[in-house]
Amino acid sequence: MTAAICACLEKEYIDGACKLCAILYIIGWTLALFIACHGGQHLIDGIETLPHAIWSSEWYRAEVNLQKDVLFMLHRSQKINAVTAGPFSEVSYPLFLAVMFERSNKLSVTKAILGDENVILDILLLNVIVECG
């Protein structure tokens, strides 16, 4: 969806209607997506290092109740949980790169058929329908 929105904004930039507004919207959407993906990647990295940190501690010298809690935490940390963008993907750097790649593809198609605006709108709507469902 973000790729389609950015492609529409880039089309607006190409048409020259309001170039400054289009650039600001594109930068805003890209920055918001990057911040979300950076946070998701930071969470994934932290979750992946947690089992090693737990195992490296001297948990075996603690009281029995704490040992049981640590073993429970170790067991629970084996399954990696991450923030997802619906059923599509984890919010991480690979998602950001995929959206940027898709956006550039949509912009290329838009530039290739710039003469017929109805075709451009049909292609963008078709891409939105394909991405959403």
Q: Which residues of 108-124 are buried (b: 16+ CB within 10 A; e: fewer)?
A: ebbeeeeeeeeebeebb
In angstroms, the Cα distances linking 25 to 45, 53, 90 are 30, 42, 24
> How far apart are alpha carbons 120 and 114 in whole angstroms?
7
Residue 133 confidence (pLDDT) above 50: no
Please report where in the chains the tokens 């919207």 appear, as a residue: 25
* Arithmetic mean of pLDDT, 12-39: 78
pTM score over 0.85: no
Range scoring the smallest mean pLDDT among 11-15, 27-31, 70-74:
11-15
Q: Considering only residues 35 and 126, tell me which one the structure prediction assigns the higher pLDDT.
A: 35
Q: Considering only residues 4 and 68, tell me which one the structure prediction assigns the higher pLDDT.
A: 68
Q: How wide is the angle at C-alpha 119 spanned by C-alphas 18 and 13, nearest 5°?
A: 15
Residue 48 confidence (pLDDT) above 80: yes
Please report where in the chains the tokens 């990647």 appear, as a residue: 41
> How far apart are alpha carbons 11 and 14 in whole angstroms?
5
Both structure tokens of 36 = 């979300």
Amino acid 35: pLDDT: 92
Quick one: what percent of the chain has pLDDT higher than 70?
A: 64
| Domain regions of the chain by residue span | 2-132
How far apart are the two ends of the chain, measured CA to CA in Å? 11
Residue 93 confidence (pLDDT) above 60: yes
